[in-house]
Amino acid sequence: MNKALAIKYLYPNAELGVDYSVRDDGEGQFIDKWSLDDPIPSDEVLEAAWNEYLSESNEKPLSNVERQLLLLGEQLALEKIARQQSDRVNITLGQQLAEMRMEILKLKGGFTNES
């Protein structure tokens, strides 16, 4: 199921990235942001909307705008995941560099635990 398209099917006037966003951290899609007045739809409601969308889309091809929205949503989700992974790596590397700096200072005699 594509949750972004299921939401768009349920709320045709809602804007992806403005009113809602969907993310996938590798363990499945989930609603990352929800700014609509309506409550967040359950997975069951989204699944039903997705099935309705698929049955209708079999009757009519995706428009260029729908195709572009789908691709854009997928690209944004992938970029966000990559950015989060990069942030985690940077934090880890920063911590490791700080530890190495302390070890070097200890070896040079410029830092002691008594300070």
Which pLDDT does position 112 carry in this prediction? 60
Q: How confident is the model at residue 70 (pLDDT cuts 50, 70, 90)?
A: confident
Is the predicted pLDDT of residue 10 greater than 60, yes or no? yes
Please measure the distance between the N-terminal and C-terminal CA atoms of the chain and give it in whole angstroms.
58
Number of compact structural domains in the chain: 1
Say if 92 falls within a structural domain: yes
Say if 89 falls within a structural domain: yes
The C-alpha atoms of residue 97 and residue 46 are separated, in whole angstroms, by: 45
Q: Write down the mean pLDDT value for the chain.
A: 85
Say if 77 falls within a structural domain: yes
Q: How confident is the model at residue 16 (pLDDT cuts 50, 70, 90)?
A: confident
The C-alpha atoms of residue 43 and residue 9 are separated, in whole angstroms, by: 14
CA distances from 104 to 18, 49, 111, 113, 115 (A): 48, 60, 9, 13, 16
What's the CATH code of the domain at 47? Answer: 3.30.56.60
Is the predicted pLDDT of residue 67 greater than 90, yes or no? no
Say if 115 falls within a structural domain: no
Say if 99 falls within a structural domain: yes
Is the predicted pLDDT of residue 115 greater than 50, yes or no? no
The C-alpha atoms of residue 15 and residue 63 are separated, in whole angstroms, by: 16
Is the predicted pLDDT of residue 51 greater than 80, yes or no? yes
Say if 21 falls within a structural domain: yes
State which residues form the domain around 41.
3-108
Q: pTM, whole model, 2 decimals?
A: 0.52
Q: CB 115: neighbour CB atoms within 10 A?
A: 5
Q: How confident is the model at residue 113 (pLDDT cuts 50, 70, 90)?
A: low
Say if 102 falls within a structural domain: yes
Token reading at 99 = 């530890």
Say if 104 falls within a structural domain: yes
Is the predicted pLDDT of residue 20 greater than 80, yes or no? yes
The C-alpha atoms of residue 28 and residue 90 are separated, in whole angstroms, by: 25
